Amino acid sequence: IIGEGPGREEDLQGTPFVGRSGKLLDTALAGLGIPASLFHIANIVKCRPPNNRKPTHAEALACRPLLQQQFRFVKPKIILLMGSAAYQFFTGDTNGRITKLRGKWLQAGGCDILPTFHPAYVLRSPSQKVHLWSDLEMIRDKLVELGYLEQDQA
């Protein structure tokens, strides 16, 4: 699971997605029966950009070796890209609009990749929650399809 960058709470604790966005994400994943042992959460950039602005391309590039190292450890099979920054920096499609791309599988390097909304966006626009939920259901179904999760566990 890839987000954008640490918020204030994450910066203080040194752990991704421990603030409000993280709580929403945890609730959704737990509600879908996806155990924490099946995922790893990372960010495109590893430090909080000033005033919580979107990371620059240079910042994303500077942090890329760290993300690559996380990939080498985790060896993900399924990648959830949350928000336009994660989508754009990860894929290099800098014009890609998350509203158009979310909920559609992409494939690269033997991984199934799903762009979705960022939980912080959903917190600001609660009517979009249904889309984040249905994308997470797609993740749950893919975990079942690939044999990481039992149908009745989910």
Residue number of the CB closest to ligand URA reads: 3
For ligand URA, the binding residue among 79, 120, 122, 149 (CB under 6 A) is 120
Taking the C-alpha atoms of residue 123 and residue 52, their distance in angstroms, rounded to an integer, is 16
Distance of CA 55 to the CA centre of its chain: 15
**If binding is defined by CB under 6 A, does position 63 make contact with ligand URA?**
no
**If binding is defined by CB under 6 A, does position 112 make contact with ligand URA?**
no
Taking the C-alpha atoms of residue 80 and residue 119, their distance in angstroms, rounded to an integer, is 12
82 to 111: interface string for ligand URA, x by CB under 6 A:
------------------------------
Residue 129, burial from CB neighbour count under 10 angstroms (0-12, 13-18, 19+): middle
**If binding is defined by CB under 6 A, does position 4 make contact with ligand URA?**
yes
Q: Which of 80, 76, 78, 49 is nearest to 62 (CA)?
A: 49
Answer whether 142's CB lies under 8 Å from 78's CB.
Answer: yes
Q: In this complex, which beta carbon is closest to ligand URA, that of residue 25 or of residue 143?
A: 25
For ligand URA, the binding residue among 1, 29, 43, 121 (CB under 6 A) is 43
- Phi first, then psi: give them for residue 101, nearest 5 degrees: -95, -20
Q: What minimum distance in Å lies between the beta carbon of 69 and ligand URA?
A: 17
Contact residues: ligand URA, CB under 6 A = 3-7, 10, 16-17, 19, 21-22, 43, 120
